[in-house]
Structure 1
Amino acid sequence: MDRAKIAGAALAAAGLALLATGCSAPATTASFGSAPASAPQAAASAVPGDHAADEDRDAVRVAIVGDSLTAGGGRLLSDGLDANTWMTYARGDGVEWVGGYAKGGSTIQEQAAVVTPVADVDVLVLMSGTNDVRKGIGFAESAASYDAVVATIAPRHVVVAAIPPYDRSPAAAAVYQRALERHVLEKGWTWTDPWGFARDGLVFAAGTSPDGIHPTTAGYQRLGESLRETILDVGDPRDDLLQAGPAVDDAPASTSATS
């Protein structure tokens, strides 16, 4: 039985139990905290530690790809999660981090070249582009790399997050971002801008960034909380069941005249 059917059966069973008892079911809470640090693997792809096996079986499985804004500072995502990694604040209670790739200073082209497949991903969150702007790479040169990352991960749903303000070249960042958003919408992916708290026009709002590139630790938390909401909205298994449509009735359908 595929995962969507299993999720549907679990929801149906839970509904019957609630009707029978008149009580609310207890919430399931997955483990929360930093993934254990490990040596970078091939292509520095991140794979959560053994604790992932204890996660909520019905959780949305999430892979993440990006640069330092995803890895946390100048680190590799494969070093594990910390206070400056947004996934630290997004995971648990229905969201399971299952891998991906992120490296400080990397462009989307670099990420596409080294990211490796991740099995059974419900939602891919891809946030990249700041280093393209830093290196003067226009979106036209980057578009195919976004597509390549998505093709490698092969998720059920794709979320592309806007890049934050880039104080060193705010106008160029805005141009790149507009082109990225158009591409995402053309592909039928989900576009989200989780940086509203940090924007003051085209630059970082006062007190939200120590360097005009990265948010503060409190900003990473707000970023994670925002992306968590998007992940749960996009990755809700009930949406997959609705998209699959109702079961086909074996009985012959009646016919009626239509105009």
Structure 2
Amino acid sequence: MVGAATAAAGRAARGIGAAFMGLACASMIVGCSAREPADGTGSPEASALAVLGTFAAVGDSITDADSPDFAAGDIGDASWTRYVVDDGFDFAGGWAEWGATTAMMADAVGRVDADVLVLLAGTNDVAFGIPFEDSAANLDRIVEVVGIEEVVVVSIPPMDTLPAGAEAYNERLHDLATDQGWRFVDASAGLGTADGRFGEGMSLDGLHPSAEGARVLGEAIATALREE
């Protein structure tokens, strides 16, 4: 819808400023439940939510996106978490905030009870030129604090202004996940082109996935979770 796209674009523009100015605030999410079906009928889709398991999410604006109130479980169309929930997984909680670096996430997260932790973090670290060694230490701290044994680390989406930076980060992220015994999922691969930038319709600003991009990202994550 035009209104939703306009709101998402406005939020994205604000998020770019936040990302490059280092502005962020904490927003804890604990025990958020999955969305009820629109018809309120208690359909089989709703009853199957817990069958596939629960997931926690930690991230930045890629995860929070256009959510009216992510902390309350009111998730927007441009958040990949919505499509994981739609696929049948139950959202158990986590933390996500616009402009957050991995250090900010590590300082803000708390313990969450879920089957798997999905961690999509690092876009702002690349933007700020934070050494990967620091990012790696922060990611390890996030996993330790959240306290979930099963960890899925997701590749960060393309960055049209820093395509080589995002690609290099993801390569090192893959190696880190292997070393730490985490599962690496290149779910962002479906968003990009051969030159490392967003594909047509996948982003509104070259940094954040559009609603369609979030759907592609979320469905790839959900597929990976199903295969565990």
Confirm whether residue 221 of structure 1 aligns to residue 215 of structure 2. yes
**1:145: how far off?**
0.7
Q: 1:190 matched to which residue of 2? A: 183
Confirm whether residue 130 of structure 1 aligns to residue 113 of structure 2. no
Instruction: Describe the superposition over 1:48-104 as per-residue Cα deviations: whole angstroms up to 9, x where unpaired.
Output: 546789774544110000011111148763153111111111115641100000001
Confirm whether residue 90 of structure 1 aligns to residue 84 of structure 2. yes
In structure 1, stretches of 5+ residues that fail to align are 1-41, 235-259
Confirm whether residue 107 of structure 1 aligns to residue 101 of structure 2. yes
TM-score by length of 1: 0.68
Aligned length in residues:
192
Instruction: Describe the superposition over 1:192-221 as per-residue Cα deviations: whole angstroms up to 9, x where unpaired.
Output: 111222211311123321111011111111
CA distance in 2, matches of 1:90, 1:133: 26
CA distance in 1, matches of 2:67, 2:32: 21
Moved over 2 A (4+): 47-59, 73-77
Q: 1:46 matched to which residue of 2? A: 29
Aligned partner (choices 81, 93, 98) of residue 75 of structure 2: 81
Higher relative contact order (CA 8 A, sep 6+): 2
Structure label with greater radius of gyration? 1
Q: 1:233 matched to which residue of 2? A: 227
Q: 1:16 matched to which residue of 2? A: none
CA distance in 2, matches of 1:184, 1:75: 32
Instruction: Describe the superposition over 1:162-206 as per-residue Cα deviations: whole angstroms up to 9, x where unpaired.
Output: 001111111222222211111011111111111222211311123
**1:157: how far off?**
0.9
Q: 1:141 matched to which residue of 2? A: 134
TM-score by length of 2: 0.76
**1:64-75 → structure 2 map (5 Å cutoff):** 64-73=57-66
- The farther-off stretch of 203-212 and 48-57 is 48-57
RMSD over aligned CA atoms reads 2.4
C-alpha change, 1:109 and 1:75, in structure 2 (3 Å) is farther
C-alpha change, 1:55 and 1:78, in structure 2 (3 Å) is farther
**1:225: how far off?**
1.0
CA distance in 1, matches of 2:32, 2:48: 11
Letter of the structure 1 residue corresponding to residue 192 of structure 2? R
